[in-house]
Chain A
Amino acid sequence: MIAIDRIFLHERTGASALKSLEEAGRAPVDPARVFAVMDHIVDTRIGRGDGTLMAGGDAFITETRASCRAAGITLFDVNDAEQGITHVISPELGIVLPGCTLIAPDSHTCTQGAFGALAWGIGSSEAEHAMATGTLRVAKPKTMRVNYNGELPAGVTAKDMILHLIAQEGAGGGKGHIVEFAGDTVRGLDMEARMTLCNMATEFAAFSGIIAPDEKTISFVEGRRYAPSPLPDWSDLHSDTGAQFDREIEIDASRLTPIVSWGTSPEHSIGIDEAIPADANASALGYMGLQAGDRIAGQHIDVAFIGSCTNSRITDLRRAAAIVKDRQVAAGVLALVVPGSTAVKKQAESEGLDRIFTDAGFEWRNSGCSLCFYAGGESFPKGSRVISSTNRNFEGRQGPKIKTHIASPEIVAASAIAGEIAAP
């Protein structure tokens, strides 16, 4: 049994947990350490209210709001300045801290392991358990360390680092393990890139991902709204020298390339200059309308989507904007940018990034999870091929018959301009 320091809920699965807790006649033991946000099905079009494009979706929003109020939970509401995707705003607000435990009924909670927190995704029942008892019953995971060493080649990002690992080891490769990401390359990443790396630990079937905090972590956390002042000493939060792991993997980061997924699992990923392997899964190929031997670069696209808890932070938007600046989205391509938080949106606007995107022909939206998944309201035209900075290329994830290719925001931006999957 371990103590849970922070709980984060969103309207999609958090509402179920709060409702069930109420029905059982229970209440959160310490609501001051529970936070909630509207991110999953909230409308991301400009001028939004409680209405969602998904029929009946507004009930999730109004019920979450009412439950939070009744339980005394801090809610970042639809049009609040703090609103945004859970795993973007929790770090922005200093809610996640090095050495703390944080859980959310959301699989991408592992993102926040980038701060040296033990942060992991759970179901609604476990969220109820954590709220009602302040604890969770957890089977101790095995340990894995993935060491990335060497300088990343130009145009290769944290997204490529994690897709490479999943492609190499399989989508089940991290099962049962908590994965520490370590090595020179990881230490060289800024905090936002570290979040991208940890974000997809769940696509690796890991219990979570974690990175030892360092001076970059400390300077990111310092001064955030919910962070303590002065900060405590976190300098001992690292694996001991000579620590033994159940498994260690070494990756030469200098040999990595930009990566794009070709199939319906993140493990179906290859270098952008490569061809789909001869032994590629037949049903994945069938769904994606591709054949073994096809090159991934040059595939015509209908949609380019920049957003999600993986790649929607300010540095992601800056890098994508640098690629689209003074250029135009290819004719017939629908291109969108959905900032990770309202604060990211505001920051981007103060830097003029919104104008760079809209001048190029991108749609510029309000923050939320948006079209990372299809909740039943808004989707892309049926059968569209989408290049997406998100984390899941599952069948139907972005809508019926939608063919999703996941990649870095750089590749999404370059592909939007080219009208086909293209390197920056």
Chain B
Amino acid sequence: MTPFTTLTSLAMPLIRDNVDTDAIIPSREMRSTGKTGLADGLFAPWRYLDVDARTPDPAFVLNDPDFSGAQILLGGVNFGCGSSREHAVWALSEYGIRAIIAPGFAPIFENNCVRNGLLPIALPADIVAMLSGQKVAVDLPAQQVSCGADIWRFDIGSEAKMMLTEGLDAIDLTLKHGKAIAAWQEADRTARPYIYLEKQL
């Protein structure tokens, strides 16, 4: 996973409330069991006038040449709600988005972001609105977003911050505690034997 430290980019506005993962990547755009080949389907229902023909809707922000290459996306409240599909994050990442700034995120989507090096930043709606179309700098170690002379601090969990800044794989991190986990399970087998099932043939 690519470590995330700082980023400066134009902030592309998609400030709508309750943007769901069906809108970010419709189920019909998930064509294989892999994690790639998804960027083309990102926001397909809004991005294309005709989804099958891939006719771009010039009114949609992803088709605005001014925002070509933008790596920061601005969203509304409860961004990423709905289906747990991690494909939503894979599609955003593949398209080139590295940070999303919104008043709030749906919990599964937020976790999926952190697991894939995409930084979710929660800031109040009035600040998000001010960032629209501006050149915005993000500094994760300092937990700051800045635009011109303005600087705002954002909160992020210490573990999420560590995983993002160091680009860590959570499984590797957890497996370092393998012995402790095994010892806990050994005791749990006595305490709750019914949890442990026999292998089905």
Contact = CB atoms under 8 A, between A and B. Distances in A.
Contacts of A19: 33-34
A146 interface: no
B174 A226 contact: no
A375 interface: yes
Contact of A107 (B31, B82, B195): B82
Contacts of B157: 139
B197 A56 contact: no
B26 A135 contact: no
23 contacts: A1-B177, A13-B84, A16-B34, A16-B87, A31-B199, A32-B199, A33-B195, A33-B196, A54-B28, A55-B31, A100-B195, A107-B83, A122-B111, A123-B115, A133-B174, A137-B174, A139-B157, A206-B107, A373-B83, A374-B27, A392-B82, A394-B82, A397-B22
Interface string A115-157: 0000001111110110011110101000000000000000000
Question: Which residue among B20, B35, B104 has the maximum number of chain A CB atoms within 10 Å of its CB?
Answer: B20
A105 B174 CA distance: 19
Given A33-B197, A228-B194, A396 B171 contact: no
B107 A375 contact: no
Contacts of B104: 172, 175
B89 interface: yes
B199 A60 contact: no
Contacts, number: 167
A265 interface: yes
Interface residues of A, number: 71
A135 B115 contact: no
Contacts of B35: 16, 20
A176 interface: yes
Nearest to A23: B34
Contacts of A56: 31-32
Interface stretch (B59-67, B145-153, B180-188): B180-188
B128 interface: no
Contact of B23 (A16, A122, A396): A396
Nearest to A399: B28
Contacts of A374: 26-28
Nearest to A176: B107
Given A74-B200, A171-B78, A396 B45 contact: yes
A308 to B, nearest CB: 13
A205 interface: yes
Contacts of B106: 172, 175, 205
A59 interface: yes
B18 A172 contact: yes
B93 interface: no
B107 A126 contact: no
A392 B200 contact: no
A124 B185 contact: no
A396 B26 contact: yes
Given A12-B30, A139-B157, A175-B107, 14 more contacts: A12-B27, A15-B33, A33-B197, A122-B111, A123-B89, A125-B112, A128-B171, A132-B175, A133-B174, A170-B78, A171-B18, A205-B106, A265-B17, A394-B82
Contacts of B34: 16, 19
A26 interface: yes
Interface of B: 16-18, 20, 22-23, 26-35, 45, 51, 77-78, 81-87, 89, 104, 106-108, 111-112, 115-116, 157, 159, 170-171, 173-175, 177-178, 181, 184-185, 188, 192, 194-200
A172 B80 CA distance: 11
A63 B18 CA distance: 33
A3 B181 CA distance: 8
A133 B181 contact: yes
Given A124-B86, A125-B86, A375-B28, A5 B195 contact: yes
B184 to A, nearest CB: 7
Contacts of A135: 174, 181
A196 to B, nearest CB: 18
A122 B18 CA distance: 19
Contacts of B17: 265, 281
B94 to A, nearest CB: 14
A277 interface: no
A264 B20 CA distance: 10
B33 A60 contact: yes
A192 interface: no
Contacts of A357: none
A100 B197 CA distance: 13
A375 to B, nearest CB: 4
Nearest to B33: A15
Nearest to B105: A175
A51 interface: no
Contacts of A30: 196
A3 B84 contact: no
Contacts of B30: 12, 375
B115 A125 contact: yes
Interface string A306-320: 000000000000000
A106 interface: yes
A54 B116 CA distance: 28
B108 A122 contact: yes
A226 B27 CA distance: 32
Interface string A379-418: 0000000000000101111001000000000000000000
Contacts of A97: 194-195
A207 interface: yes
